[in-house]
Amino acid sequence: MAATLENKLVVAISSRALFNFEEENRVFEQDKDQAYAQLQLQRLEIPAPPGVAFSLVRKLLAFNSGTEQKVEVVLLSRNDPVSGMRVFRSCKAHGLLSIQRGVFTQGRDPFRYLKPLGAHLFLSANATDVQQALQLGFPAARVLTESAQAQDSNPDEVRIAFDGDAVLFSDEAERVFQAQGLDAFQRHEIEHASLPLPDGPFKPLLAALHRLQQDTQSQMRIRTALVTARSAPAHERAIRTLMDWNIGVDETMFLGGLAKGEFLREFEPDFFFDDQTGHATSAAAHVPAGHVSSGISNL
């Protein structure tokens, strides 16, 4: 019987999102493809240090036990196959032994392989790849490689934080705010409080995490948070939408425009997703963060 990824949480991730290849990437950006490949070959025996999404991946893989594999992480990279050898060796050196699948495209578009993978999440440092993945309907975020590393204070808990509008939910309400201002936004959300918001790009990931969260056999747990600029009375529609989906989150933060960074620092997520560059960049000073180029704010 052929191998299958069905009934698994599938994460596709680029080399730079998983490991810190920033020094090597500077060589690559100087249009020195051969020099980059040669540098990676020279460092074949040197494990790359952890990157921004390393903690998230390591903890998700901890849900796998014995022959039961609930999470699949696949390397999906513009790297060349030779550089791919170093990536796999780095995985082995860091104990990520269950990462065994990878696609290395040597500069060509990698996002087209998300469909056969059935990916629930794509993490990459390449903004174009992320945007294309989102347009194809896959949850995707550009990893901010300057982000702070995740804390190790919650080793048995995967913590993930999401913005609401244009991430978990559609940008319907955000469009009202951008066009007509805060008062109109509040009125719109009060009037539509009982009407669930349309799905946003990251609903499939939240649903997959919710299914994984129901696994009572694992010692690992998942804790999620909705961290949004919404405030009362616009909070109600967001909560009712989650109720309609039959998906709960563990914490909600309705911040009414306050900076999210310090609140996220206290939550200590392994990753945070936001559609607004300013919010994602601010959060990156405290936690691993990714930009979701979705919605009206990114037009």
Pairing of strands 9-13, 140-143: unpaired
Pairing of strands 121-124, 140-143: parallel
Which residue matches tokens 């999404």? 53
User: Could you tell me where the beta strands, DSSP code E, fall in 51-156?
Assistant: 71-77, 101-104, 121-124, 140-143
How far apart CA 260 and CA 126 sit, in angstroms, is 24
How far apart CA 49 and CA 46 sit, in angstroms, is 9
Q: Which of 130, 225, 158, 227 is nearest to 9 (CA)?
A: 158
How far apart CA 279 and CA 230 sit, in angstroms, is 14
Active-site position among 163, 165, 274, 275 = 163
For this structure, is 163 an active site residue? yes
How far apart CA 119 and CA 138 sit, in angstroms, is 7
Active site residues: 163
